[in-house]
Structure 1
Amino acid sequence: MIVSDTMWMPDLSQAPQRSKYEALALAIREGVAGGQLAPGAQLPPVRELAYRVGVTPGTVARAYRLLVDDRVLVAGVGRGTFVADRPAHLPPGLTQDIAQHMAPSLMADFPVAQGEPGYLVSPRMPDMGQGALMVRVLGQLAAAPPDTLMRYPSRSTDVAARAAFHATLDPAAIGPATVDDIVLAHGGQNAVVLIMQTLLHGPQPAIIVDELSYNGFRSAAELCRAEVWSVPWDTEGPSVEVFTQLVRQHRVQIYCTAAEVCNPTTRATTPARRAEIAAVARRHGVHVIDDDCYSRTQRLGPSYRALLPELGWYVTSPSKSLTPALRIGFAVAPQSCGPALVRTATGHSFGVSQLVCHTYAGVMAAPELPQIMAAVTARIAQDVACAVEVLAGHNLAWADGAPFVWLTLPPPWRAEAFVDAAKAQGVVLKSAEAFVQRDSRMVHAVRIAINGQVSHADFRTAMQRLRALLNAPPARIAV
């Protein structure tokens, strides 16, 4: 591989147990960590590198996308793919000399790509005043007596955050709940993992996810050594017949879903179908985790926790409505399961830091918060409306309040080929492949995330580029 003036050829045979794209991604990571690939160095175009290494263009594109998602690389709009210039993004006071000796895993935590125009891989909240609000709350916290911040987290130190969250809950949506039914986590994903660790048992635990669903469910199941089975949807939601068959055949213990806004399709399970699935779950003792991190402007029906008081779990976080930097998540347990989840959370990390808990409680109490949240929702709606307008005539799905849209591709486009073509135009998307089981049926669609950290004008330009691709597909699609 030739990068800038450096001759460097990765040996993909060094990772025989990995797929080719993973082996290539690992080689690039090692090149960055070892200094052969300097910050800011431009990598070859997809097809050129594929020819040199002896793999398909799709393999190279997939490796690049993985590293862009992990913020090792940056996809520049119309310029190509570059090694992230990490020192420019370090916190104040951290010198470049120190940065050069930091572990690559730690360096990957610093943002490098989210603000790039055309970076539409993951939703990013626009700053409509919540940043300044958090700074103010943190300043107030800094003036508090020091002894309030000198203890390990516990159920007594996080009660203010639990009470602030409890005040936002609608009993009609999630069922009756007390402050004691709420357990804090380090974000919504962590809440899902904690619930699985609490519930899963036996030598071969199994869970069900929707056929197209948030890949964090599968990641959590992998951590818990659980088998994952997927249920297809019809026009109302998950197939009751297939769901029942899976439960019986595999002794499923948990069903993970998002009843209001399925990520990535934006579809909702109808209230009638939720009741049918809840009845099957009750009959077979299946717990249901209802992820509500993405929510609609107006709810369509009750959560599974309301329908299944003894087996339903409700999970959410402010990451998709306020900011992902405030690492706090909430799990509302069935009333009989709260103590067990508390034990899991305590054994996992003792709890969520008081700094985070007090910051969340302070932000939620701020009088300007409703106005800020309304502005965030309006800005997301502006970009969604732009996508709907520019991509009119194509198969597009969206939900009011959700910061992404789902584009089903017209023939002859295939998902991976379209993602590659979009990236070549400076628009980075996530393929349907990221949301399905490896052995699932092929789905030719992409998720277009709303990145509130880029301008609306840049987003419109990105949509116009996608429109041009959709209207003029190549005669022959290379995969």
Structure 2
Amino acid sequence: MSDTKWAEGVQLDGRAKYKALADHLTAEMDKGTLPVGHQLPPVRQLAWALGVTPGTVARAYSILTDAGRLEAVVGRGTFVAPKFRNVADDVWTRKLPKDSGNINLYSPTLPDMGQVAAIRHALRAVAEGPQEDLVEYPNREGFRPAREAVIDWLSDVSLGPVGHKDVVLSHGGQSAISLVLQAAVSGAQPVILVEELSYAGFRRAAEVLRIEVAGVPSDERGLIPEELERIARRTGAQMLCTSAEVHNPTGLHTPLERREEIVAACKRAGGVQILEDDCYRIGPARAPSYRALWPGGAWYVSSISKTITPALRIGFAVAAEGRYADLRRAAEYGFFGLARPLAEMARLILGNPETRRIAGQVRDRVGDYIRTAVNALGRHEITWREDVPFLWLPLPRGWRAAEFVLAAERHGIQIRSAEEFTLREDRAPHCIRIAVNGQIPMERFEAAMTTLRELLDNPPEAISA
């Protein structure tokens, strides 16, 4: 049994117990009682010693792991991390060398269906293009062809009244989200709303901008309008961040009727603006965007990361009607705008009719992987679509999400647990997200799905902490 003497005297009354425990752990680490490298007790052992639930301890550990004070080592336990350790974004911590023997199903990885050759061709064209594109600052008028190419690329989305001036190029979808928040949210203590299960990038952008985040419950059709209005009124929220076409992580779709109800709830709650993140849609849009339903109150962001490549970091934000100056100012004051060579790359790639064919082939190939996964896992309750590059799977009885993720990693398979999509103060369901990796052979992907199925079918008799 690990030593828990340091926990004597912890005060868990009068506020959230997990926060009190996290504060106590921090204080003990700062005093040196818990030195670097010290192994903390398993969740259940500490919970028993303190007379609290395992969830309380797990949440405290999670908060401190996110903050870089603790680190979880697969198969060994939780340890006090080296002081001032940098907390890397999951893109870097989860990316594995190709020869590592592991299978990364953490984030979608696209197959090459001709986009590599197209990108190389565009890079050569940029290198051989006008000299000013390589030696001068970006400028608005010079970017007009790229913005017009974005409008053409988005022609299969109902965006409402839109022109090239409404578009700002960004460094990927995450940058576009940050730009919209900077342009649209203000005040000393601003608040935004997200689904209780939602894309972590919303929360990360808000944290950098010192914006509070509140969660809104959802059902199988999306956000619950009544709850949205109630929480918006209580918090004074200025913006709702959501994904209606492909919800990340559940893969669900919000139909038109529910979107209209959400817009009405936002208007009743004092004009809560809507930021729609459409980055995960790789097929045709199934309903009008929020911007089409409410041009003056909704903003739209997307990128080419899930359709062509995430490597170039090309994204775009579309301002709410009449707000393009605010959006443009956020970009120009922040980084002077996208680099001129990247803007020209955006024009060449998005303006090339061949790119749509490539995107269609990427979508078809992703569908092949999804069908393979469904064939292996179909006896379990999964949410999937052939044009969505991941699956959402509630775990069968006997599995906890964290335990299943660790078990998968021991078999060389990396997946995400629902905890990574949950607000820190909320309880995560025991679910996992499995992403498509289109850069590994289908046989290897199928073998990984078979391994996951065998794990699902054989939950541990006793779930450890």
Question: Is the CA contact (8 Å cut-off) linking 1:69 and 1:121 kept in structure 2?
Answer: no
Q: CA deviation at 1:70?
A: 5.0
Question: Structure 1, residues 67-122: CA drift from partner, whole Å, max 9, x if none?
Answer: 794545776xxxxxxxxxxxxxxxxxxxxxxxxxxxxxxxxxxxx36986521001
Q: Which amino acid aligns with 2:425?
A: D
Unaligned runs of 5+ in 1: 1-8, 29-44, 61-65, 76-111
| Match status 1:179 vs 2:164 | yes
Partner of 1:132: 117
Q: CA deviation at 1:295?
A: 1.0
Partner of 2:74: 46
User: How does 1:187-206 map onto structure 2 within 5 Å?
Assistant: 187-206=172-191
Q: 4+ residue runs of structure 1 moved beyond 3 angstroms? A: 16-28, 66-75, 112-117
Q: Which amino acid aligns with 2:221?
A: E
Which TM-score applies when normalising by structure 2? 0.81
Q: CA deviation at 1:19?
A: 5.4
Distance 1:182-1:19 versus aligned 2 partners, 3 A rule: closer
Partner of 2:386: 400
| Secondary structure of the corresponding residue to residue 204 of structure 1 | coil
User: How does 1:450-469 map onto structure 2 within 5 Å?
Assistant: 450-469=436-455
Distance in 1 of aligned mates of 2:400 and 2:192:
30
Partner of 1:240: 225
Select between 168-177 and 452-461 the one with higher mean Cα deviation.
168-177
Distance in 2 of aligned mates of 1:115 and 1:309:
48
Q: CA deviation at 1:171?
A: 7.5
Distance in 2 of aligned mates of 1:114 and 1:342:
43
| Match status 1:417 vs 2:445 | no
Question: Is the CA contact (8 Å cut-off) linking 2:371 and 2:386 kept in structure 1?
Answer: no
Question: Structure 1, residues 13-40: CA drift from partner, whole Å, max 9, x if none?
Answer: 79x9995645888789xxxxxxxxxxxx
Q: CA deviation at 1:267?
A: 0.3
Alignment partner of 1:313 out of 289, 294, 299: 299
Distance in 1 of aligned mates of 2:155 and 2:133:
31
Distance in 1 of aligned mates of 2:134 and 2:68:
45
Question: Is the CA contact (8 Å cut-off) linking 1:326 and 1:360 kept in structure 2?
Answer: no
Partner of 1:437: 423
User: How does 1:323-402 map onto structure 2 within 5 Å?
Assistant: 323-402=309-388
| Secondary structure of the corresponding residue to residue 305 of structure 2 | helix
Question: Structure 1, residues 139-164: CA drift from partner, whole Å, max 9, x if none?
Answer: 12222232332211121222121111
Question: Structure 1, residues 313-345: CA drift from partner, whole Å, max 9, x if none?
Answer: 110000111000111211111121001111111
Distance in 1 of aligned mates of 2:451 and 2:306:
26
Alignment partner of 1:277 out of 262, 284, 298: 262
Partner of 1:472: 458
Question: Is the CA contact (8 Å cut-off) linking 1:161 and 1:360 kept in structure 2?
Answer: yes
Distance in 2 of aligned mates of 1:169 and 1:125:
20
In the comparison of the two structures, how many residue pairs are matched? 407
Distance in 2 of aligned mates of 1:344 and 1:74:
31
| Secondary structure of the corresponding residue to residue 208 of structure 1 | strand
Distance 1:17-1:445 versus aligned 2 partners, 3 A rule: closer
Supply the RMSD in Å over aligned alpha carbons.
Answer: 2.8
Question: Structure 1, residues 241-272: CA drift from partner, whole Å, max 9, x if none?
Answer: 11011111111100000001000000011211
Question: Is the CA contact (8 Å cut-off) linking 2:216 and 2:224 kept in structure 1?
Answer: yes
Unaligned runs of 5+ in 2: 1-33, 40-59, 82-86
Distance in 2 of aligned mates of 1:172 and 1:326:
23
| Secondary structure of the corresponding residue to residue 344 of structure 1 | helix
Alignment partner of 1:224 out of 209, 222, 225: 209
Question: Is the CA contact (8 Å cut-off) linking 2:102 and 2:414 kept in structure 1?
Answer: no
Identity %: 39
Alignment partner of 1:293 out of 276, 279, 285: 279
| Match status 1:253 vs 2:242 | no
User: How does 1:27-38 map onto structure 2 within 5 Å?
Assistant: none
Distance 1:367-1:184 versus aligned 2 partners, 3 A rule: closer
Distance in 2 of aligned mates of 1:70 and 1:374:
25
Distance 1:19-1:293 versus aligned 2 partners, 3 A rule: closer
| Secondary structure of the corresponding residue to residue 192 of structure 1 | helix
Question: Is the CA contact (8 Å cut-off) linking 1:209 and 1:230 kept in structure 2?
Answer: yes
Q: Which amino acid aligns with 1:361?
A: R
| Match status 1:11 vs 2:36 | yes
| Secondary structure of the corresponding residue to residue 249 of structure 2 | coil
